[in-house]
Structure 1
Amino acid sequence: MKKIIFSVPDKPTGIGIIELLKAQGLDESHISVLGNESTEFSAMPEAGEFENDVVPASKRGVLVGGATGLLAGLGAALVLPGVVIGGAALAAALALSTAGGATFGVLASTLIGASVPHSQIREYEAVIERGELLMIIEVDDEQAAEVTAQVQSHDPSVSLMGEIDAVPPIV
């Protein structure tokens, strides 16, 4: 799946794009619209997962926490003097430390992510501050080129801004 980002100049243009996408069979749950405080969002999909950083933070948390737990388990297995662990016991210990680290990472990062803006759209804040809308459309990889062409042909003032990665960067 790809998440394609467009800059849309105003609400009527955004509604027209949404209607175009619905007519092409795209479900409204795959469309998110962001704007500034003065934007009225009736008849438009809400920001959904892009309202805050919960989803990207959770993905980062599970990756970083799991890796940290695995390294901690390996370190403990190598450092403990006089304790020899091998085979299934070592595998179980590493699996438990990895799962524990991933669980802690998800919990901690999700709590933090709920209170901060979405990290993957920070670079597009200027568009929102200008009063334009940021429209994020989630499509299959095969549909991406076709949907992009349809949206851009609908109104020449609509700009393709880029894509959001499935797994957000750690930094």
Structure 2
Amino acid sequence: MSRRIYWLLPDVASARRTVNDLLVARVPVQHIHCFGREGINLSGLHPANVFQTTDVIYAAELGLLIGGVIGVVAGVLVAMYYPLGFASLQWGVVAILGVLGALFGAWSSSLIGISVPSHRLKRFEAAIERGEILLMVDVSSLQVKEIENLLQASHPEARLEGEDPDTPVFP
């Protein structure tokens, strides 16, 4: 199980030192994500990507669910009111429209979700606008305390902002 730890750092130099300490502690660079306001130079750091900074995953999941339900309902209505002659073919339409509805719902919702800032990062907006750097570290549940203690001891300028227990596994 993976957890995401959030830290706020005052500037890019502090973020670079912190990331270097995390790398020495054997946290893979793919699990370290830095996010700052637009226009800030994050060179040398692993920047957060669209999966960490927008609601694209949440929107796609919601669209998949809603689109699938609407597709199944439409399939049931078609099967009940427009008989095709074969009973197996009629109910196959339910499955086909359910899958097509789910795919269309996920696609269309993700197009919207990619333009919406992440609801998980909403609480950091003011700090990021002030020029602070948000550091997101994905570690196993067993490493959380170790990493928190390491950063608190070596970076007093950093502020621990909590952890997110349900970090998506893939991004």
Kindly indicate whether the alpha-carbon contact (under 8 Å) linking 2:84 and 2:90 is maintained by their aligned counterparts in 1: no
Cα distance, 1:3–1:111 mapped onto 2, change above 3 Å: same
* Conserved 8 A contact 1:66-1:101: yes
CA distance in 2 between partners of 1:84 and 1:157 (Å): 72
- Unaligned stretches of 5+ residues in structure 1: none
Is the CA contact (8 Å cut-off) linking 2:83 and 2:90 kept in structure 1?
Answer: no
Shift, 1:142, TM fit: 2.5
2:56 is matched with 54
RMSD after superposition: 2.9
SS at match of 1:143: helix
Query: Percent of aligned positions with the same letter in both sequences?
Result: 30
1:141 pairs with 2:149: no
1:26 is aligned with what amino acid? V
Equivalences for residues 5-154 of structure 1 within 5 A: 5-48=6-49, 49-74=51-76, 80=81, 90=91, 92-154=92-154
- Residue-pair matches, total: 165
Match of 1:139, SS? Answer: strand
Q: CA deviation at 1:64?
A: 3.1
- How far apart are the structure 2 equivalents of 1:163 and 1:70? 38
> What TM-score comes out, normalization by structure 2 length?
0.77
Shift of the alpha carbon at 1:45? 0.9
Q: Secondary structure at the match of 1:22?
A: helix
In 2 relative to 1, CA 75–144 (structure 1 residues): closer, same or farther, beyond 3 Å? farther
Contact 1:56 1:119 in 2 (8 A): no
Normalising by structure 1, what TM-score?
0.77
Deviation (angstroms), 1:135: 0.8
With over 3 angstroms needed to count, the CA separation of the structure-2 counterparts of 1:7 and 1:68, relative to structure 1, is: farther
Q: Distance in 1 between matches of 2:86 and 2:3?
A: 44
Whether the 8 Å CA contact 1:10–1:133 is kept in 2: the answer is yes
